[in-house]
């Protein structure tokens, strides 16, 4: 059977445009959040790999005006016009990343979200290893500053070390899910790991 051609202006692209969302990927976090009750009003959230801001739009609606979210990326994020969101250009692989993040938002974090993705090389093993390294950074943020009972959502490319990463997540969270949202493109290798209820 012939593979369907890549269609940049697909259903989710058009839906995002219609709903004023910055990226079709916003529907991924929306689906995960609804299915697993990730967000609540008043939470502190960190969004890693947040550009162009589609996830931030969904998160802001979910946490309401009493919540607070920090979004960081290597690319600048256009202002969202809300007082309870802060964005910054940060490299998550920098030696002082955790200190820089804490300067933006101190205190415990209720939910760590990561849509970080490596610049792909087309070499499967290399891309998978880079993706897993980025998940490791997100998990380190959660381990350092995640609140007990909080949640974790991270994109990754399925690869050889996947079980190791999942094992690490199971040690930190009561329940771990592997999710492939409907808005994920057909040919994509990506999945999301969801950690529910961080252990005390």
Which residue out of 34, 41, 155, 167 is catalytically annotated?
155
Rounded to whole angstroms, the Cα distance separating 197 from 172 reads 9
pLDDT at 121 over 90: no
Name the one residue in this structure whose structure tokens are 């609140």. 147
Task: Tell me the two tokens of residue 137.
Answer: 């950074």
pLDDT at 169 over 70: yes
Lowest mean pLDDT among 33-37, 60-64, 92-96, 118-122: 118-122
Residue 22, in any domain of the structure: no
pLDDT at 74: 96
Give me the CATH number covering residue 79: 3.40.50.150
Number of domains in the chain: 1
pLDDT at 6 over 70: no
**Percent residues over pLDDT 90 in the chain:** 68
Let me know: does 16 contact 27? Beta carbons within 8 Å: yes
Reply yes or no on whether 86 is catalytic.
Answer: no
Residue 120, in any domain of the structure: yes
pLDDT at 125: 86
Residue 21, in any domain of the structure: no
What's the mean pLDDT when you consider all of the chain? 89
């Amino acid at each position: 059977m012939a593979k369907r051609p890549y269609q940049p202006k697909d259903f989710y692209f058009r839906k995002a445009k219609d709903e004023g969302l910055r990226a079709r990927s916003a529907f991924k976090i929306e689906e995960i959040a609804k299915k697993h009750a990730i967000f609540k009003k008043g939470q502190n959230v960190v969004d890693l790999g947040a550009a162009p801001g589609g996830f931030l739009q969904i998160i802001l609606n979910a946490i309401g005006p009493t919540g607070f979210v920090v979004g960081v990326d290597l690319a600048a994020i256009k202002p969202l016009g809300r007082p309870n969101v802060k964005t910054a250009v940060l490299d998550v692989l920098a030696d002082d990343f955790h200190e820089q993040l804490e300067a933006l938002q101190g205190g415990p974090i209720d939910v760590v979200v990561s849509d970080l993705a490596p610049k792909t090389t087309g070499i499967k093993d290399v891309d998978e290893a880079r993706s897993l390294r980025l998940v490791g950074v997100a998990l380190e943020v959660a381990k350092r500053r995640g609140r007990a009972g909080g949640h974790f959502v991270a994109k990754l490319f399925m690869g050889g070390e996947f079980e190791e990463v999942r094992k690490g997540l199971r040690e930190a969270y009561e329940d771990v899910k592997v999710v492939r949202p409907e808005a994920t493109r057909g040919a994509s290798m990506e999945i999301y790991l969801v950690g529910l209820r961080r252990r005390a």
